[in-house]
Structure 1
Amino acid sequence: MTDLMETLVENREMVQPNHANMLEVAHGGNVMKWMDEVGAMSAMRFSGETCVTARVNRMNFERPIPVGDTAYITAYVYDAGTSSVKVRLVTEREDLRTREREKTTESYFVYVAIDDDNTPTPVPELTVDCEEAAQLRKTAIEGENGGN
């Protein structure tokens, strides 16, 4: 068994000009790639296996991330099936000088754990051992179901 809090991964990507579109903000495809990578890290921490992306359930881009700011990405596992792992991902725009953050993007990814033969393999049971983890799980389930 793996606890939800053990799956929490936070990462930053500095938005450089080569990540930007013609409006000088992060291209949505780059943001999605960064989120996918951080989500996979979370899924692998949970499962102890290589995980591949199976589905993206909504990708809401609420505001841009300008060149020079960072994309601050948070991911955690909130549910699991036999070989599937559900991960909530939230990206915030962060100004490193002021430490100001605003949510820019939210999504729910599903990964599948695979073995050395690239065949789906079982994942452990997810546990929720503290109030913070319970709240994170509740928020993810509500958001996945359209509650956000």
Structure 2
Amino acid sequence: MNRTFKTVASSDISISELMLPSHTNFSGKIHGGYILSLLDQIAFACASKFSGNYCVTASVDTVNFLKPIEVGELVTMKASVNYVGNSSMIIGIRVEAENIQTGKIKHCNSSYFTMVAKDNDGKSMLVPGLILLNMNDVRRFFNCIKQIALKKERDLHEEEFDYNSKEALESLKKYNIKLEF
């Protein structure tokens, strides 16, 4: 079976939404949970558009809340596929908020979601390969490779680390905790 290939640009998708008072948290800023919901929606749309299949969220790898979003700002989310595996894709998402009266735009959030393509029976599907057309595409792809390596290293450390060892428990003394067992 020949694998098809698609460009990063073929996955590009953006959504914009005006932030309303009903989207706020207790401090009057737009609720992070609401933004997470929108991020998941655009990650789904981007991955499904690229793969041609239904996609599910495998993991939310990074969500960096950089600046608060205010009521009345127009939020625009831009997503693209940055990396593909066999059935998985890493979707990069940039969130910007625009003050629609002044035109000032601020970068509010950067996020990375791992999405997996599924068939009607819930089995993972092969996704198209990725055509990298410029150095920005290459940079994003390499950043995903590094992110995957760090994730594997963290998981390995998690499996191998002995939390019960005397040394491990001793090392906790430098933190603001109290062990009472």
TM-score greater than 0.5 by the shorter chain: yes
Q: How does 1:1-148 map to 2 (within 5 A)?
A: 1-129=5-133, 131=134, 134-139=135-140, 141-142=142-143, 145=146
TM superposition shift of 1:144: 7.8
Gaps spanning 5+ residues in structure 1: where?
none
Q: Which amino acid aligns with 2:91?
A: V
Query: What secondary structure is seen at the aligned counterpart in 2 of 1:26?
Result: coil
1:84–1:110 Cα contact (<8 Å) kept: yes
Percent identity between the aligned chains? 29
Query: Structure 1 or 2: larger helix share?
Result: 2
2:44–2:57 Cα contact (<8 Å) kept: yes
Query: Structure 1 or 2: larger strand share?
Result: 1
Query: What secondary structure is seen at the aligned counterpart in 1 of 2:81?
Result: strand
TM superposition shift of 1:14: 1.2
Query: Higher RCO, 1 or 2 (CA under 8 Å, sep at least 6)?
Result: 1
Count the aligned residue pairs.
Answer: 143
When normalised by structure 1's length, the TM-score is: 0.89
If you compute each CA radius of gyration, which structure gives the higher value, 1 or 2?
A: 2
Query: What secondary structure is seen at the aligned counterpart in 1 of 2:124?
Result: coil
Instruction: Report the aligned-residue RMSD.
Output: 1.7
When normalised by structure 2's length, the TM-score is: 0.73
Cα distance, 1:137–1:2 mapped onto 2, change above 3 Å? same
TM superposition shift of 1:39: 1.3
Cα distance, 1:144–1:96 mapped onto 2, change above 3 Å? farther
